[in-house]
Chain A
Amino acid sequence: MSFYLFLTLLLLSSGCYYLGRRRAFTVAGDHVRNLHSLPSYYGAYTALWCGLPALLVFAAWTALQPSIILELVTNALPPELRTLPPGRLDLVLNDIKNLVNGNIVSSAPDPAILAAADHYRNLQLIGNAALWIAVMSLAIAGAAHAWRAISPKLRARNRVEQVVNLFLVISSTIAIFTTVGIILSVLFESILFFGKVPISDFLLGLQWSPQTALRADQAGSSGAFGAVPLFAGTLLISGIAMLVAVPIGLMSALYLSEYATPKFRATAKPALEVLAGIPTVVYGFFAALTVAPLLRDIGTALGLQVASESALAAGLVMGIMIIPFVSSLSDDVINAVPQSMRDGSYALGATKSETIKRVLLPAALPGIVGSILLAVSRAIGETMIVVMAAGLSANLTANPLQAVTTVTVQIVTLLTGDQEFDSAKTLAAFALGMVLFVVTLILNIIALHVVRKYREQYE
């Protein structure tokens, strides 16, 4: 329905382009050079006048129509339905909407609801017809206005360029809106959450069991929202990952930039970067179905108790995933160290490894620390590997052979499945999300700052 209107509008607008262009040739008389702009700009001018105002009205109308109709239908309901508590009223309205859409309704519909559904349908028909008329007349009026305005003196190019410029500026602000959206969405829900659970309990509590009672009279846990076990679990898994990724990544970067022949470098570097392109769900599958059973078997052979969802398995695989981040970032940093420093060291008789250890690494240290920080923030925010390979129970332990859970795992488990938006359980996920966002943001800012400072030092 609205798709056809959109298509019609598009066709009309492109038709207007040719009309406007023809019109420009006509008003120009014998010489096209009499025109201020190229003829195609007159066409674009007409098309924009035809399409843009109509499109804006169209978008606003589609966004507002459902809520206005709902309001009207609610007001027309008989008083005994209208005065229902909000939750029940929502159910009634849902029934009406389902009736309108021809879906199955929960119970045998009441005549009042049937009448309301008819009313709804009528309003919808009227609304849609009015939308067509409004949009079409606006499009034609716009085109007519542009048609009349076209004259050799009209600065069509400047007008069209103004619109394009506006589009560019608006596009560039979307990044800002995204950040604002992220901050607002996690902040609002977190404030609601901290209204129910004190912030000190959340940040310092040692107990995490987010199961709250579903009904007020239900016996059972009231829920404990101490996030320390999650933070500890996240740190444990990220720590294991960094123990794998930093030595391997750093040594590979050193070898590739200092020892390897260009040919070897040209094949090994992209091959290593394949690891960065593999989707994380694949790593998760690998961790859960290959690495974890392997570790458990090895543990049993050595007489150790290894949980089947051990932190070690998740951390190891996450470390593999992060290797290319560490290696390519430190590769950049190492290459930024001036050759003269290496040459000076060689001239004093140092071997290659001595140069690396005593000159290159100290000089590149800030940059390497920055790249490790970026890798840590990546590890903390990684979700799929831990969701698939780490556990769900919040253990406060430093033993890598046991199962621990992480912030991201809890966000996913709290938010998948049925949810009520006012329960502490759901809101807790947003509070965890806020912690995650803030921590990774701080890490990124520090890391970017360190790396930039360091680059400037040698430029």
Chain B
Amino acid sequence: MNKPIAPAAPARDIKAIVNAGLAHRHAAERRFRLYGLVAISLGLAFVVLMFASIISKGYPAFWQTYIELPVAFDAAVIDPEGKRDPKVLENADYAALVRASLRSLFPQVEGRRDLRALYALASSSAPLQLRAAVLDNPTLIGSTQPVWVLASATVDTFVKGNIDRSLDETLRPIKDQDIAWVDKLRADDRLERRFNSILFNHGDSREPEQAGIRGALMGSFYTLLVTFLLSFPIGVATAVYLEEFAPKNRWTDLIEVNINNLAAVPSIVFGLLGLAVFINFFGLPRSAPLVGGLVLSLMTLPVIIIAGRAALTSVPPSIREAALGMGASKLQMVGHHVLPLAMPGMLTGSIIGMARALGESAPLLMIGMVAFIVDIPKGMFDPATVLPVQIYLWADLPERAFVERTSAAIMVLLAFMILMNGLAIILRKRFERRW
């Protein structure tokens, strides 16, 4: 007889096969899940790492070392004729006072080279500070006053512990004798760390201890002002036209495709446009916030238009129909009802666009906003630089003190970005409406 085919046998086989493979499959499942978790943790770790690296490098820049010098405001040096003529006071040799005071602190130092090293302890801005003090109050002349002057960047870096004193003398920027002097000053309580207000009040400088971001901040402000004044009205108008008025035809299709493509054009190409059109063709001034603002507004426009259209579509048609039904014209319907309801969404989109414009630097390099500019710009036509470009410029400089300041400038930039994005989120949360 033929063997009866047991119907249960293959079923048991399948079960066995499945069961045999199950451990392997579950392991694969767990592995896959782990890969996903690892990927996310890597991404988040990068965020944390970057912030940690920048903050740890940058926070010391918010403090600055000052040295107390007993300055003898010697009348023979400042005002030999005793007439207190402001012209004479202005042109006196204040550096000599600083030098004399340093010599009085360390009378044992001799020899040209050692003396020069000693004089380098104080920043080159110290004479200017003394001049300002004397011009402010001429009665100082003839007296001896303790004056807190800015320490040089090397001293500052050393005091902050960023130079390892156990290194060989030839490998560090500060010499043994300098260290001895600084230790003596510290022992005498003549060193102090204060909040670094220079960082926020001064323009750029070649001396790290005198360099600040005020000029870049003002440049960013004027640039963004131009950007906002141009891109917001034009962006809103375009969004309104395309969403509410435009007939569906080839022309509006072309505009739409164009806007989507512009949103993905590399930013540096906008810089080329700015250079060729605004500077060479229209002859606008180089390095001016006006041109920077024009270029950035062309870049920001697509962002505002796309956000604006999304906000307009989220307004339900019933509102439009109700307004038209009450006899409003189409423009009244948009102006009185649709636009106010879509405005929070449009503002959110614009703020995000402005935040992006604030962080943008590549197109501004093309139109000459990378110059070394000490003066703080006073208007849209003055040569200026912006905060991200200032960061780029400082990042190239080798001094440790500039690395610190670059990181601090990045922290300020990130603070502004967080502020703007936070504002956008609050706006959205506060005014978001679900219909």
B104 contacts partner chain A, Cβ-Cβ < 8 Å:
no
Given A172-B255, A255-B37: A411 and B237 interface contact (C-beta under 8 Å)? no
Q: Please tell me the number of chain B residues within 8 Å of chain A, measured between CB atoms.
A: 84
- Chain B neighbourhood of A6, CB < 8 A: none
In the complex, the answer to whether A168 meets B268 with C-beta atoms within 8 Å is no
- Chain B neighbourhood of A161, CB < 8 A: 329, 331
- Chain A neighbourhood of B33, CB < 8 A: 255, 259, 352-353
Query: CA A448 – CA B413 in complex, angstroms?
Result: 33
Query: CA A278 – CA B53 in complex, angstroms?
Result: 14
Max chain B Cβ within 10 angstroms of own Cβ: one of A254, A380, A421: A254
B54 contacts partner chain A, Cβ-Cβ < 8 Å:
yes
- Chain B neighbourhood of A388, CB < 8 A: 392, 395
A149 contacts partner chain B, Cβ-Cβ < 8 Å:
no
Given A255-B39, A412-B362: A172 and B246 interface contact (C-beta under 8 Å)? yes
Given A168-B240, A174-B234, A255-B36: A282 and B50 interface contact (C-beta under 8 Å)? yes
Query: CA A324 – CA B271 in complex, angstroms?
Result: 25
In the complex, the answer to whether B255 meets A282 with C-beta atoms within 8 Å is no
B154 contacts partner chain A, Cβ-Cβ < 8 Å:
no
B423 contacts partner chain A, Cβ-Cβ < 8 Å:
no
In the complex, the answer to whether B265 meets A284 with C-beta atoms within 8 Å is no
Query: CA A286 – CA B46 in complex, angstroms?
Result: 11
User: Binary interface profile of A, 89-113, with partner B (CB < 8 Å = 1, else 0)?
Assistant: 0000000000000000000000000
In the complex, the answer to whether A268 meets B40 with C-beta atoms within 8 Å is yes
Given A161-B331, A171-B234, A251-B39: A382 and B266 interface contact (C-beta under 8 Å)? yes
Interface residue SS majority, chain A: helix
A178 contacts partner chain B, Cβ-Cβ < 8 Å:
yes
In the complex, the answer to whether A290 meets B46 with C-beta atoms within 8 Å is no
Given A172-B246, A285-B391: A416 and B360 interface contact (C-beta under 8 Å)? no
A314 contacts partner chain B, Cβ-Cβ < 8 Å:
no
B196 contacts partner chain A, Cβ-Cβ < 8 Å:
no
Query: CA A289 – CA B398 in complex, angstroms?
Result: 10
Q: Please tell me the number of chain A residues within 8 Å of chain B, measured between CB atoms.
A: 87
In the complex, the answer to whether B47 meets A274 with C-beta atoms within 8 Å is yes
In the complex, the answer to whether A381 meets B39 with C-beta atoms within 8 Å is no
Closest chain A CB from B341 CB (angstroms): 18
Cross-interface CB contact of B241 among A172, A286, A421, cutoff 8 Å = A172
B290 contacts partner chain A, Cβ-Cβ < 8 Å:
no
Query: CA A250 – CA B260 in complex, angstroms?
Result: 24
Cβ-closest chain A residue relative to B36:
A255
A199 contacts partner chain B, Cβ-Cβ < 8 Å:
no
B312 contacts partner chain A, Cβ-Cβ < 8 Å:
no
Cross-interface CB contact of A247 among B39, B240, B252, B261, cutoff 8 Å = B39
Closest chain A CB from B148 CB (angstroms): 32
A374 contacts partner chain B, Cβ-Cβ < 8 Å:
yes
Number of A-B contacts (CB under 8 A): 246
Given A175-B258, A277-B355: A384 and B269 interface contact (C-beta under 8 Å)? no
B88 contacts partner chain A, Cβ-Cβ < 8 Å:
no
A337 contacts partner chain B, Cβ-Cβ < 8 Å:
no
- Chain B neighbourhood of A408, CB < 8 A: 266, 268, 362
Cβ-closest chain A residue relative to B305:
A175
- Chain A neighbourhood of B260, CB < 8 A: 448
Query: CA A412 – CA B272 in complex, angstroms?
Result: 10
- Chain A neighbourhood of B53, CB < 8 A: 286, 290
Closest chain B CB from A340 CB (angstroms): 22
A220 contacts partner chain B, Cβ-Cβ < 8 Å:
no
A441 contacts partner chain B, Cβ-Cβ < 8 Å:
yes
Cross-interface CB contact of B276 among A185, A284, A327, A382, cutoff 8 Å = A185
Closest chain B CB from A335 CB (angstroms): 16
Closest chain B CB from A436 CB (angstroms): 6
Cβ-closest chain A residue relative to B396:
A388
A440 contacts partner chain B, Cβ-Cβ < 8 Å:
yes
In the complex, the answer to whether A437 meets B269 with C-beta atoms within 8 Å is yes
In the complex, the answer to whether A320 meets B410 with C-beta atoms within 8 Å is no
Closest chain A CB from B249 CB (angstroms): 13
In the complex, the answer to whether B410 meets A285 with C-beta atoms within 8 Å is yes
Given A172-B237, A411-B272: A281 and B361 interface contact (C-beta under 8 Å)? yes
Closest chain B CB from A345 CB (angstroms): 13
Query: CA A285 – CA B393 in complex, angstroms?
Result: 10
9 pairs of A and B residues whose beta carbons are closest in the complex: A381-B266, A255-B36, A279-B359, A185-B276, A251-B39, A353-B32, A171-B237, A383-B362, A168-B241
A-B contact pairs, 22 of them (CB 8 A): A161-B329, A172-B252, A179-B262, A182-B272, A186-B272, A249-B39, A251-B36, A252-B43, A277-B421, A278-B359, A281-B388, A282-B359, A283-B50, A285-B406, A285-B410, A353-B29, A353-B33, A381-B267, A383-B365, A388-B392, A416-B370, A448-B260
**Which A residues are within 8 Å of any B CB, using their own CB?**
157, 161, 164-165, 167-169, 171-176, 178-179, 181-182, 185-186, 188-189, 247-252, 254-256, 258-259, 268, 271-272, 274-275, 277-286, 288-290, 320, 323-324, 327, 349, 351-354, 356-357, 374, 377-378, 380-384, 387-388, 408, 411-412, 415-416, 421, 429-430, 433, 436-437, 440-441, 444-445, 448
